[in-house]
Copies of this chain bind each other. A is one copy, B any other.
């Protein structure tokens, strides 16, 4: 496995692979790799001839009160993990390589799918995400790029960007990987002290309650959201940013579960913000 830090080196690597007719799989990450990332890399390894992962803590997707400064960084450990699952190249650029002096271009979207949920609570977040993904797609030129379903809205918007901008890339969205206790894996879970980690299980438990109630015939989105809310509130002190039952494509609120929807949750436990989601298929 190689590690490169410049766009030119990354481009040279993937161009050589492309000239050999190889397919390129790409897993963009902010490092702090966990089993969720590794599952994406394994999937890319299965699907593609060459696997590229990026490790870049993208500053433009953090808000002014976000956790950019304390976001965990350990390239050496990330490289070991990536190599263990067969990644061929890690692209780990510095901020100045991605955003040189005078950088002014950004990609954004309009409409409810980008403005609601994470878009509402993290203004500018998706502009940062979409812009950095587009830049990385241009550098890596993958045939397929892999995203985790845990960041449901992100995967939806990236898929939409790729479609809208006519990029010849297939976005593959892979299932959320969970710990044995059901908590969706996230680099931010590292922030959780043992008690908070125990409390955080309430999110997945709440989603499970909603799914169980749906299976038993409950069709009211308000009722389903309330089941999730009660499970979360019962677990201990926290701030709920949102609990939404939404259309899987538009993210418009759903009132009655007469077709598939998605339940999305964002909760802050102490200083740590956690998100999770699940499908609701009546």
| Chain A residues with a Cβ under 8 A of chain B | 7, 11, 102-111, 113-114, 130-131, 134-135, 138-139, 160-161, 164-168
A11 and B168 CA atoms in complex are apart in Å by 9
Residues of B within 8 Å of A102, CB to CB, are 160
Q: Enumerate chain B residues within 8 angstroms of A104, measured Cβ to Cβ.
A: 109-111, 113-114, 160, 164
Contacts of A106 in B (CB 8 A): 107-110
**B139 engages A105 (CB within 8 Å):** no
Q: How far is the CB of A14 from chain B (nearest CB, A)?
A: 11
* A11: chain B residues within 8 A (beta carbon): 168
Residue from A11, A102, A105, A110 having most chain B Cβ neighbours under 10 A: A105
Residues of B within 8 A of A110 (CB): 104, 106
Kindly list the 9 A-B residue pairs having the minimum CB-CB distance in the complex, ordered from nearest. Answer: A105-B164, A138-B166, A104-B109, A104-B110, A104-B111, A105-B161, A135-B166, A105-B109, A139-B166
A137 CB, nearest partner CB in chain B, Å: 9
- What distance in Å separates the Cβ of A42 from its nearest Cβ neighbour in chain B? 27
16 additional A-B pairs beyond A106-B109, A106-B110, A107-B107, beta carbons within 8 Å, are A102-B160, A103-B164, A104-B111, A104-B160, A105-B107, A105-B130, A105-B160, A105-B161, A105-B165, A108-B108, A134-B165, A135-B164, A135-B165, A135-B166, A138-B165, A138-B166
Which residue of chain B lies nearest to A249 when distances are taken between CB atoms in the complex? B102
Contact residues in B for A134 (Cβ distance below 8 Å): 165
Q: Is the Cβ of A105 less than 8 Å from the Cβ of B108?
A: yes
Could you tell me the distance in whole angstroms from the C-beta of A114 to the nearest C-beta in chain B?
7
Q: Give A15's nearest chain B residue, CB to CB.
A: B168
In the complex, which residues of chain B have a beta carbon less than 8 angstroms from the beta carbon of A135?
164-166
CA distance A108 to B106 in the complex (A): 5
CA A120 to CA B105, docked complex, whole Å: 18
Residues on B with beta carbons closer than 8 Å to the beta carbon of A160: 102, 104-105
A165 contacts across to B, CB distance below 8 A: 105, 131, 134-135, 138
With both beta carbons as reference points, the residue of chain B lying nearest to A134 in the complex is identified as B165
Contacts A/B (CB < 8 Å), 13 sampled: A7-B166, A102-B160, A104-B109, A104-B113, A105-B109, A105-B164, A106-B109, A106-B110, A134-B165, A135-B164, A135-B166, A138-B166, A138-B167
Which one of A7, A104, A131, A167 has the highest number of Cβ atoms from chain B below 10 Å of its Cβ?
A: A104
CA of A160 to CA of B111, assembled, Å: 27
Nearest CB of chain B from residue A59's CB, rounded to whole Å: 15
Return chain B residues, CB-CB under 8 Å to A168. Answer: 11, 138
